[in-house]
Amino acid sequence: MSAESASAIHRNQVDLLDFVDWSSVEILNQKNGHSLPNALKQGYREDEGLILESDADEQLLIYIPFNQVVKLHSIAVQGPEEEGPKSVKLFANREHMGFSNVNDFPPSDTVILSTENLKGKPVIVKYVKFQNVRSLTIFIEDNQSGSDITKVQKIVLYGTTQEPELGLSRSYRATLLVECGLLGKAIDHEYVQ
């Protein structure tokens, strides 16, 4: 099954990179020197010379926790035409997965990446399945050519946070309003109780 491709990211969708809990990110089967930050972190992922590469076989298993609850709208996965990912399974809020049990759980969505997708065109996910995401597990099952090495140049997750005002909690927004002398004014009355 292939997910719908996005021609453009919706105006209110943002790159969820700033909401990744980097201290808890995990990846299985990455080649030394060709690690996940090359494809996921800002600055690295823009450098076409840096890639994430599989090690023992073509599969990669990536666990990305977020520092707050997010809504995932779409994903962009770039890679070379031959060794770029093909079948990608996405699991919302599924922790402690390994290659031995990844097929024991139904994915929240499965996407089949096209050549257009590998050039950066995002794929819209089943949005209803990604409404309250605390973590995302990405299972790259195979690549375009069936070779033993999968290469990923860039991964971008698009969505929104549950807190629409830049991810700020209600209590923090209230603190900001107090410090700015705006508490009690009509500006943000619906958030301050």
Close Cβ partners of 27 (under 8 Å, ≥ 6 residues apart): 35, 36, 52, 60, 61, 62, 63
In this structure, are residues 135 and 94 in contact, taking their beta carbons and an 8 Å threshold?
A: yes
Model pTM? 0.80
CATH number of 14-162: 2.60.120.470
Close Cβ partners of 110 (under 8 Å, ≥ 6 residues apart): 1, 3, 87, 88, 89, 90
CATH 2.60.120.470 in the chain is located at 14-162
Q: Calculate the CA dihedral of residues 47, 49, 52, 55 and round it to 10 degrees.
A: -170
pLDDT tens over the chain, length 193 residues? 444 545 555 668 999 999 999 999 999 999 999 999 989 998 888 988 899 999 999 999 999 999 999 999 999 999 999 999 999 999 999 999 999 999 999 999 999 999 999 999 999 999 999 999 999 999 999 999 999 999 999 999 999 998 655 555 555 555 555 565 555 544 443 433 3
